[in-house]
Structure 1
Amino acid sequence: MLLSLAACSRSEVFRHEAFVFGTRVDVAVYGKDQAEADAAAAAVLREFDRLHRAYHAWEPSELTALNAAIARGEAAEVSDELAALLKDAQHIAAVGDELFDPALGALVALWGFHTDTFVPTRPDPDKLQALLAARPRMADLVIEGNRVESRNPAVQIDLGGYAKGYALDRAAAILREKGVANALINIGGNVMALGRKGDQPWRVGIQHPREPAPIATLPLYDGEAVGTSGDYQRFFELDGERYAHLLDPRTGQPARGTQSLTILITAQPNAGTLSDGPSKPAYLAGDQWREHTRRFGIEHVLRITEDGSVEVTRALRARLQFVGSVAPKLID
């Protein structure tokens, strides 16, 4: 009986999976009590579902209601949460020279990415040029308390490149409220760690953009988050060419020059949010990626170029364990 009781008291990883935000999510709780782990993870998944429904970019939601009001040239009253999200996304867009701009929802729709089962097609050239000429930007939004309006009716908000990071921060807050000290939250490759996995830190892999395996692994410590922007998750191929969902607002075309770019955010407030939005301008900047990560104070970065070359900052190289024979170029 003593041996049996000892076995029951061992800590283990309790995993909980779902499909939200158009991707697979995984909440892994390390502990001894499965009932407590299940309850905490269930609360997180309910929150993910709430966020998904509230801020969906094309199904009826608070966000689509705001977009409809903007298209009509009207102001809208939004929730405290959405007002705060829009202000933060506006700031991230400004710091990143508007390379990543959630106001470009109409551009995303033109490329057919506002559907779960898109058909490979290029956008109508005239509609694309008209939208580029309209130049919708987050800077067009006027946010006063809960009142939101736009100086530009072409603005259509899509928080798809931002919401997963915010959801990581919400998940971490809920788990801590539920007394969970050790967990790993994964939302389609955006990952945040709480505590440890026993006597070891959590270890995560960085996906190789062209192979079904990680290119490297790294330990993730309490409160840290990692996020990747890449051309290998939402994309289609047409006439032998790859078209990814990360669109360059300067050209209206899918960004070129980078297969994937990963950033590690050390423990700090809103680490989850910072692991998502700020990776986009660096990805879209191509060879100027380092300038953009510096703007956000991000020192841990790995980039895989269009030709498959690997570039990594010295700070992140010290944390990485590469898989196979990789000879990265070190960047200060």
Structure 2
Amino acid sequence: MPNVRRLLILLATIWLLAACGQPAPWRQESYVFGTRVEVLIAGVPEAQARAAGARVLQDFDRLHRTYHAWQPSELSALNQSIAAGRTHDVTPEFAAFIREAQAAAAAGDHLFDPGIGRLIALWGFHTDDIQARLPDSAAVHALLARHPSIADLRLEGNRVDSRNRSVALDFGGYLKGVALDRAVASLKQDGVANALINIGGNVMALGTRDAAGTHWRIGIQHPRPQGVGGAPLATLELKDGEAIGTSGDYHRYFEVAGRRYCHLLDPRTGIPADATQAVTVLIAPGPGAGMRSDALSKPIFIAGREWRGMAKKLGVDAVLRVGADGTASATPAMQARLKIEVPDLKLEAVP
């Protein structure tokens, strides 16, 4: 299997279509949250863009280190206290994140549940160097029998305890979206009105990319690209305040006996979801748009063939899904925004 970091850098790329005759946005890249991060800023002097972008990336790094799931962090310290049956005091920020993640998990019937960190670790995804090995099935079933869930956490102010010692938090499917929202707020505070933030394919737009009012155009990764740097599956224009998020089986995975096992685990079965290759959601502007783009794509992915019902339940109107057989489907709201870039791709409209 290719080096995970190299694979992520190749596959998380977004395609930005240049506007002819307009100056290129200032750009800065980093590697945070286990993926490639990119900040583009337009319409301000380079010195202002550089300072504003640096503050965004500093906050990303702080969030990554503070809420890391398997390295020493505030989150791992809470997980240790939960395992020991102790209460634990957290920061107001951390308490707010837990409450928000609990609400997001409940909205999706806990198909996405940040409380299954122990299950993720059993599958070997709590590492930067994923190994191609299956977990002990008895250990998986024993953990499933204890039904760990973020819903088991109880908060009194900033004090946290758990009804279930098997709970371990993993914010891997939530924190990137939070970071998008925080980045937009930070940039606005620094006088930036036009920017694009990309965290491994979770993207949020602020304003436009140039003085002519050109919308930011991005590409949606093909889950099975043909060759390195292949064309995206589709492109679309992101409007001010919109966010887009993709969950795919190609970000973190391993293969055993020709079968792919990805990091998106179904809490009902304890095994990776395998009915979907990728799901992309487009979220309208509003409070928490970035967070919703990250967290809500997961239950739609894990729902498999029932994806449309889950999307409706979550209030997500614009969805693109690629099934396990490579068939692409889209809701009308998403289809109207897409420009298909793969020749002869048949896109099924699903009302």
Please name the residue that 1:202 is paired with: 216
Give me the whole-angstrom Cα distance separating, in 2, the residues matched to 1:151 and 1:194.
Answer: 41
Say if 2:56 and 2:187, in contact at 8 Å, map to a contact too.
Answer: yes
Aligned pairs for 1:34-45 within 5 A: 34-45=46-57
Please name the residue that 2:305 is paired with: 287
1:144 to partner: Cα distance: 1.5
In structure 1, give the amino acid aligned to 2:349.
Answer: L
1:147 partnered with 2:147: no
**How high is the sequence identity, in percent, across the aligned residues?**
55
1:119 to partner: Cα distance: 1.5
1:64 to partner: Cα distance: 0.3
1:89 to partner: Cα distance: 0.8
**Matching residue within 135, 139, 150 for 1:138:** 150
Say if 1:228 and 1:260, in contact at 8 Å, map to a contact too.
Answer: yes
1:133 to partner: Cα distance: 0.5
Please name the residue that 1:327 is paired with: 346
Give me the whole-angstrom Cα distance separating, in 2, the residues matched to 1:202 and 1:210.
Answer: 24
Give me the whole-angstrom Cα distance separating, in 2, the residues matched to 1:186 and 1:35.
Answer: 21
**Matching residue within 288, 291, 299 for 1:270:** 288
TM-score (norm 2): 0.91
CA-to-aligned-CA distance 1:142-169 (integer Å, 9 cap, x gap):
1121011100000000000000000000
Structure 2 portions without partners, runs of 5+? 1-21
Give me the whole-angstrom Cα distance separating, in 2, the residues matched to 1:213 and 1:242.
Answer: 23
Please name the residue that 2:19 is paired with: none
In structure 1, give the amino acid aligned to 2:289.
Answer: A
1:250 partnered with 2:268: yes
Q: RMSD over aligned Cα, in angstroms? A: 0.9
Say if 1:12 and 1:32, in contact at 8 Å, map to a contact too.
Answer: no
Aligned residue pair count = 323
**Matching residue within 108, 111, 114 for 2:120:** 108
1:11 to partner: Cα distance: 4.6
TM-score (norm 1): 0.96
Please name the residue that 2:11 is paired with: none
CA-to-aligned-CA distance 1:159-201 (integer Å, 9 cap, x gap):
0000000000011010000000000000000000000011210
Structure 1 portions without partners, runs of 5+? 1-9
Structure 1 moving runs of 4+ over 6 Å: none
Say if 1:259 and 1:305, in contact at 8 Å, map to a contact too.
Answer: yes
In structure 2, give the amino acid aligned to 1:201.
Answer: H
SS at match of 1:209: coil
Give me the whole-angstrom Cα distance separating, in 2, the residues matched to 1:43 and 1:325.
Answer: 44
Aligned pairs for 1:72-221 within 5 A: 72-198=84-210, 199=212, 200-211=214-225, 212-221=230-239
